[in-house]
A and B are shown apart, each in its own frame.
Chain A
């Protein structure tokens, strides 16, 4: 009974995942390797009885912490995942990035994440797919656009996300029209869409940061250890690119300690993404990014 609320959240997320699978031919799930999207991946295994019949897409900014990539490929092999990544090779080659010192953080996010995502989802840029036999990535022959994209956004992350739908349409330019969103009632979702548009699907909308960690603890989900303090008195609360992500002060060394720490209310007044520098660049950094198709 203790985890009744987790039970409810799991049932709802599984329902949404199955609805997504039943309604979209070309379905992808974004896997950032962080805690939320890893919980999402676990929920997919729940929904499909140990199988993951959905392609996992990772947008590789080339500035992810190297452990994350190793962890990604290991899980992909262990769980027989259809694993695909995409990247803004052009911007990286031309050094149009913030760490290269040539553009702002926000502009860098647009290049390496938003644009990479847009073009990977549409199939316009090459995708690389993990060969489970060899453990190597190969050019993916499938160039079809993904019309359903499952994302691990949560409503409690920040203001604009609290207005999302479970099934949220994106137009041709990946844009989110916050003012004109579809109605959503009684578990009937928007599953019809005009050519050229696609839907973002948010099975974790109702989860809080604490729920995520409680669930990781209950299910014993393998999670990257970057979230834990390894003796420095610091840990990551939200994982992004290393040049723009700062750890928080914390001595939590494992999942149970993170759950306990969150329960004390220590972070209650500190936004989860406060370690993400790009959110602070204009009045509503994340909202500006999101309208433009950011995850």
Chain B
């Protein structure tokens, strides 16, 4: 066994010891075409800076000798068995090392096209990038693709290293040819590299000391270039944005706060600030900033996961963006021009419904048209009807309901999105701009095949001794509005009222009404069918016309859905209540909600 044992992967044990007070950490991703030497760069950097555990280098060398394989620095990193077998990097590995200046987390991304989604995952976590080009092979397809993906991912600090200079006799001309060609390419996509360095990773030339083999090169060595990267300061003066993750109302432990929660993506806000929620446009004011086991605060800035209570209680929920009334607002639209890269196995096709996730919003979307493809193979801007795997495209998409976002030029965090194809994140991109909306037939605008009674509601109300009303009991995940709604129905009947319960499958989960038993994925379906609120509204509207008090339980309704419902049941009254978060646990809380509903129904003159 022992002799065939694969070397134990380099196990970074954190950076104890290097964690001097105030030391800064930086995430750097290493990208480039397959086999151009990314893992070798990282492995050699670790070895030369003394960042490897004692004996690790020797044990990997010994292993290679035993198995008659040439020694590879990549073995230090390629921690997983599959990779050692094939000699390529499959996924991004994270390793830690330090320079005199700071601590680095190095993300070694795979270069093989097959693993583009892993490269993207690695690069999206980085603050700066090192792009490796093989001096002998020159610029290849993924040298380019990775270049513009870095630009799209928002990574602005790029150092390009021309590696394997030993294979071209450390020739100045070879280096400069590649440099000039690549700079010209990057210029076309609006990017400029910070540094260009000729290196030989395997031989350690120009990695952490200047190279004697290339006296003609006067610039930084690689470590020097990395140390010259700047930590991006938090951007001041940006408008406040907080995508809502959830609105919590935990009633246990006598907590009566209703907390709008999320992470501040940009800007800052303080107690008393008037705020607006988009896309609904609802307004309120920040009453307090909430936390647990934290110092009380009156102001909060970017990057902080936080919660607010509001001065005026309004119905808002996950997916909306909180902005400040006094600042430039996020845009709201149903048609967007985007730049997109596609990683899905199946192409991004017009006519099929996908989901777009931006911030915490998740909205059905469709490809309207492809403006042009940004091509890595240089074969010119050919036209296509679908965006295929590994393509990057400029296109137009339409959404089934309005979305709040920022154009990427204004704000990054609310200008980026992913596209989900069935269960998988298949694409990622940035929003360039909002486009004018085409006229859409609202879900409620479809003519009904049924005709209804035209007798006035008055007589019916006298007969039943009640006025019809729709009571919606809603609630986010973990909440059980059905329980409360059924309790209310029972109570109303007990009081001699004509009540009727309707339950709606989780609106977020079953937009197609064909939810699978245990999965929570959206099943591909027609555009119009995806409005459960409309289905509920149509059913309720019939029952209301018949004079009943309809008690409906629905999870995951957003404010857009409530608007749809209001329109569909007009002129009948709509009362909306939220199920407590822990209704399942404490039945007492259901009773509270029933009382509240009865009180409100009496107040409205309904019962």
Pick out which of these stretches binds chain A: B177-185, B197-205, B419-427. Answer: B419-427
The answer to the question of B143 belonging to the interface, with a C-beta cut-off of 8 Å to chain A, is no
Q: Is A156 an interface residue (CB 8 A)?
A: yes
Chain B residues with CB under 8 A of A179: 82, 90-91
Chain B residues with CB below 8 A from A210, complex form: 14-16, 19
Instruction: Decide: A159 and B11 in contact? CB cutoff 8 A.
Output: yes
Task: For B265, give the chain A residue with the smallest CB separation.
Answer: A187
Q: What are 18 of the A-B contact pairs (CB < 8 Å)?
A: A18-B246, A22-B477, A23-B520, A25-B506, A27-B478, A49-B290, A51-B253, A82-B585, A156-B14, A157-B11, A159-B93, A179-B82, A184-B425, A188-B417, A193-B521, A196-B518, A210-B14, A283-B6
Within 8 A of B (CB), among A204-231: 208-211, 219
Residue A178 CB within 8 A of the other chain:
yes
Interface of B is mostly: loop
A8: contacting residue among B117, B250, B303, B413, CB under 8 A: B303
A8-B303, A219-B293 known; A192+B420 contact, CB < 8 A: yes
Pair B80/A287 contact, Cβ less than 8 Å: yes
Number of B residues near A (Cβ < 8 Å) is 88
Q: A183-B121, A195-B518, A195-B519 are known contacts; what are 12 more A-B pairs with Cβ within 8 Å?
A: A12-B305, A18-B246, A19-B245, A21-B478, A51-B248, A163-B92, A185-B153, A186-B413, A191-B520, A193-B521, A211-B14, A266-B16
Measured between beta carbons, the chain A residues less than 8 angstroms from B263 are 11, 14-15
A196 to B153, CA, bound (A): 33
Minimum C-beta distance from B305 to chain A (A): 4
Known A53-B478, A268-B16, A283-B5; judge A15-B121 contact (CB<8 A). no
> Residues of B contacting A196 with CB < 8 Å?
518-519
Which one, B248, B305, B509, contacts A15 given CB within 8 A? B305
Is residue B587 within 8 Å, beta carbon to beta carbon, of the partner chain?
no
Q: Report chain A residues within 8 Å CB of B248.
A: 48-49, 51
Show the binding face of B for A, using Cβ within 8 Å: 1, 5-6, 8-19, 21-22, 25, 53-54, 79-82, 90-96, 117-118, 120-121, 124, 153, 245-246, 248, 250, 252-253, 255, 257, 259, 261-263, 290-294, 303-305, 307, 318, 343, 355, 357, 360, 413, 416-418, 420, 422-425, 428, 476-478, 506, 509, 516-522, 581-582, 585
Whole-angstrom distance between the Cβ of A178 and the nearest chain B Cβ: 6
Q: Which residue of B lies closest to A156 (CB)?
A: B14
Q: B291 to A49, Cβ gap below 8 A?
A: yes
Assess the B292–A49 pair: CB atoms within 8 A: yes
**Is A262 in contact with chain B by the CB < 8 A criterion?**
yes
Q: Which of B5, B15, B120 contacts A183 (CB 8 A)?
A: B120
Q: Give Cα distance in the complex from A1 to B248, angstroms.
A: 30
In the bound assembly, the distance between CA atoms of A264 and B250 in angstroms comes to 43
Contact A162 B12 (CB under 8 A): yes
Say how far A259's CB is from chain B's closest CB, in angstroms. Answer: 10
B477 touching A24 by the CB < 8 A rule? yes
Which chain A residues (240-295) contact chain B, with CB distance < 8 Å?
262-272, 282-284, 287
Contact check, B17 vs A263: say whether CB atoms are below 8 A apart: yes
Residue interface mask A67-93, B partner, CB < 8 A = 1: 000000000000010100000000000
